[in-house]
Structure 1
């Protein structure tokens, strides 16, 4: 058997897709039992907040996804990273609650984000916002869906009047080589939710020039691509997953027509 071949008994992507969607839905329902309640919150070493809900969902997702697929790797924001995952072709990449700040402040802008990565590329992805009942999902090559209805990214081809999900102050900073045209901005706490909204055409683009991690992007990146959009770093380079360091420097996501215009500006920024 060649090293790249899977054993005949390996689960199909369709089986994993079904497993993933059920696991994400159940995790979302569990999250709602904590949402808008008084819960325990701690600080991580990096200063970010983690709640008992984050940890409970992490356990639930690992039981639902990793336990029935012990031959797959596991990477989660709330689990200590195990380098053993680098030996696996297939890896679950999970953020139990993406947008913890919004969750703790009772805002409906958080999601359960879970993906299956194969050979460094997301092949299955779910982004579920239980508070709004928006269930985004995709399988590579099969299109992207919101509540089982097909979605498509924006076809806008000019920056003038574009709606960008980003900090409003970002475009006024002195980092830019030339002024931006008049754009509209909206802020959303969850990175995965921002990307899902771009995939659904609810916004034309999202930009972040600060570090993100694989669990922030993996599921939603696939959904953007399957919706006909493009996602890269600020230089226009594709993200690769299941690397030794899960950190990325930046992200730029939009419909295909707008993306080159964004990269033309972001690529000249020194981070």
Structure 2
């Protein structure tokens, strides 16, 4: 059995290769199109990165399952103790638009838990990483969330979260709302305290949040779904019911303010 440290080293190597491929397409002519069922855009770069990652990672760990946004569902992953959970390019719209805020999100599970994780932003030369037995790092340096309370907190989320219908007695907390295109990056930004929290009240695909959830947890943030429950991964639906990622004090204040 591989240790999380060894899996993390593998993910870091793979993420660097992914970045090289992505930057070869970025801000150059490339094909992109919309997926069926309003599932968002995809580009030839997404597929090229996905193919490389699958070849590299499954060759190194042939007994691991595979779950990726850009691969056909493989139910055999549910029988594997370990599984790769991958978003080849998170923030594809930003990538296609030539913006820097896209990332590669790579994670490994042990059962329902994430044990190794990398979020790599090649255009920003930034890599977040963690494994289950060590600290969360940004470019090799330890990170930690903020210790702020909800008054004046800066929360990475989308506009609809400010709808009074989501909050007890219609009282929207006095936080400032910001947005970044990659959900994986949002979790990492909350983990390092550049923003105070990342919140989503929508169902989230596992590949968008698997890596960032471990990085935030190992940084010292409280990481749960929208109901305050522990996230579980490599499930049949491959979805988590929302997310709240913040320092423990702010996390508790957000959770207690939500209508549930």
TM exceeding 0.5: yes
Alignment equivalent of 2:109, drawn from 117, 122, 144 = 117
1:126 aligns with 2:118: yes
Structure 1: distance between partners of 2:160 and 2:201 = 12
Distance 1:173 1:238, change over 3 A: same
Distance 1:161 1:242, change over 3 A: same
Alignment equivalent of 2:100, drawn from 102, 108, 128 = 108
Moved more, 37-46 or 130-139: 37-46
Q: In the alignment, is the contact (CA less than 8 A) between 2:8 and 2:118 conserved in 1? A: no
Alignment equivalent of 1:95, drawn from 80, 83, 87 = 87
Q: Which residue of 1 aligns with 2:231?
A: 239
Alignment equivalent of 1:52, drawn from 37, 44, 47 = 44
Deviations 1:82-105 (A, max 9, x none): 000011101000000011111111
Structure 2: distance between partners of 1:242 and 1:202 = 29
* CA-CA distance at 1:239 after TM superposition: 1.1
Deviations 1:140-185 (A, max 9, x none): 12010000000011111x2111010112452144332232243222
Moved more, 171-180 or 79-88: 171-180
Alignment equivalent of 1:31, drawn from 22, 26, 44 = 22
Alignment equivalent of 1:75, drawn from 67, 82, 107 = 67
> Secondary structure at 1:253's aligned position in 2?
strand
* CA-CA distance at 1:12 after TM superposition: 2.9
Structure 1: distance between partners of 2:136 and 2:192 = 9
Alignment of structure 1 residues 1-271 onto 2, 5 Å? 10-47=1-38, 48-156=40-148, 158-177=149-168, 178-266=170-258, 268-269=259-260
RMSD after superposition:
1.3
Figure out how many residues of one structure are paired with residues of the other and give that number: 258
Structure with the bigger percentage of helix: 2
Moved more, 103-112 or 75-84: 103-112
* CA-CA distance at 1:11 after TM superposition: 3.0
* CA-CA distance at 1:78 after TM superposition: 0.3
Stretches of structure 1 that go unaligned for 5 or more consecutive residues are 1-9
> Secondary structure at 2:36's aligned position in 1?
coil
Deviations 1:88-135 (A, max 9, x none): 101000000011111111111110000001011000000001111110
* TM-score, structure 1 as length reference: 0.92
